Structure 1
Amino acid sequence: MIEVTTPAILFPAVSLLMLAYTNRFLALAKIVRDLAGQLIEHDDESLRRQIDNLELRLTLIKWMQALGILSLLSCLMSILAVHTELQMLGEALFGLSILLLFASLSVCLREVLLAGNALKVVLEKCRPDGKSRKR
Structure 2
Amino acid sequence: MKFTLTTPALIFSTISLLLLAYTNRFSILASLIRDLHDKAKEKGEKDYIIKSQLSSLKKRVRLIRNMQFLAILSLFFCVFSMFLLFFNQNLAGEIVFAIGLGLLMLSLILSAIEINISVHALNIQLSESVKEGAELDK
- TM, length-normalised to structure 1: 0.93
1:122 aligned onto 2:125: yes
Q: Could you tell me which residue of structure 1 aligns to residue 97 of structure 2?
A: 94
Structure 2 gap ranges (5+)? 134-138
Residue of structure 2 equivalent to 1:77 = 80
Of 47, 50, 56, the match for 2:50: 47
Q: 2:114 aligns with which of 105, 108, 111?
A: 111
Say whether residues 1:29 and 2:30 are aligned partners: yes
* Ranges of 4+ aligned residues in structure 1 off by more than 4 Å: none
Shift of 1:124: 1.5
Alpha-carbon separation, structure 2, partners of 1:70 and 1:118: 29
- Which of the two has higher C-alpha Rg? 2
- Structure 1 unaligned runs (5+)? 131-135
1:2 partner SS: coil
Q: Secondary structure at the match of 1:49?
A: helix
SS at match of 2:131: coil
Aligned counterparts of 1:102 and 1:13: Cα–Cα separation in 2: 12
Which residue of structure 2 aligns with residue 12 of structure 1?
A: 13
CA distance in structure 2 between the aligned counterparts of 1:75 and 1:45, rounded to whole angstroms: 45
Q: Count how many residue pairs are aligned between Structure 1 and Structure 2.
A: 130
Letter of the structure 2 residue corresponding to residue 22 of structure 1: T
Corresponding residue for residue 133 of structure 1: none
C-alpha separation between the residues in 2 aligned to 1:9 and 1:125? 46
Once the two structures are superposed, what CA deviation does each residue of 1:21-68 show, in whole Å capped at 9, x if it has no partner? 000000000000000000001131110000000000000000000000
What is the Cα-based RMSD across aligned positions, in Å?
A: 1.2
Shift of 1:128: 2.2
In 1: Cα distance, 2:42 partner to 2:91 partner: 60
